[in-house]
Structure 1
């Protein structure tokens, strides 16, 4: 199974709350470039997309969603910046098993994207993510372990 982990694009510095920060024009451009890189890697079909409820993550998916054939898109409250990577891992594994998923994309935030990557890519130090950064993990659901096959 492919687990695609993406950090939202560059966001404005200030808003009424962290959850309400919106993407900058540069963030939109970098999101599109990141999506094009995924397509160049052969990632076009995504069985399930889970998106943080924060505005900048929702806008990130809104910017790039047209580049992919996504079967199902859901807002997932557990992937905000300080979500628990182990809980997300267990949820995604259960979801993949029940729904027979071949691919899952998570659109989230620092620091969670780093921790999720290290949980799905076993024995990997949590990598840093730039805005619009992506990691693709080839994950074996049976062994519950994986390796990073692409990172930007």
Structure 2
């Protein structure tokens, strides 16, 4: 399976709580740029897992404009910034297996995403994710491997 881990787009700070922060215009634009770029190599996602936080949900709304409807998409309470990376990684793999998904997109937050990479790929230090940044992990073979990591500024 191919796991595409994506950080939400840039969000503003004018909100009652961290959970309610919304994407900025720049965040929407960068998410769209990354979605266009991803669309050149990925035709569709079989499974999409998204954080319940508003900025992640809005990022998924932007991404979904560039891809067909996935076979399944879920909001997971475990995909929050303070989530447990071991649990989040295990759930991601379990849902992918349950739904027989080969291409899986996860939209979540830092620091969780960085730690998930370390959980999924042996010997990798947690990488930083730029907003709207995407990392591809290939789990077709064991051990899994980190194939690439890109941010909006690295593809334009």
**Given the two structures, how large is their TM-score scaled by the length of structure 2?**
0.90
How far off its partner does 1:117 sit? Answer: 1.6
What is the aligned-residue RMSD (CA, Å)? 1.3
- Contact 1:44–1:67 (CA under 8 A) maintained in structure 2: no
Contact 2:79 2:108 in 1 (8 A): yes
Could you tell me whether the CA contact under 8 Å between 2:47 and 2:99 is conserved in 1? no
Change (3 A) 1:18 1:128: same
When you count strand as a share of all residues, which structure comes out higher?
A: 1
Report the equivalent of 1:123: 123
Larger deviation, residues 19-28 vs 116-125: 116-125
Partner of 1:38: 38
Distance 2:128 2:87 in 1: 20
Partners of 1:51 and 1:10 in 2: how far apart? 16
In the alignment, which residue of structure 2 is the partner of 1:102?
Answer: 102
**How big is the shift at 1:95?**
1.9
Task: Show CA shifts across 1:79-133 (max 9, x none).
Answer: 0001111111211222222222112111001100111122222211111111001
Aligned 8 A contact 1:23 1:56 in 2: yes
Q: Does 1:147 align with 2:145?
A: yes
Structure 2 residues without counterparts, runs of 5 or longer: 151-156
Secondary structure of 1:45's partner? coil
Counterpart contact for 1:28–1:60, Cα < 8 Å: yes
Unaligned runs of 5+ residues in structure 1 are none
Counterpart Cα distance in 1 of 2:43 and 2:84: 28
Return the offset for 1:71. Answer: 1.6
Aligned to 1:81: 81
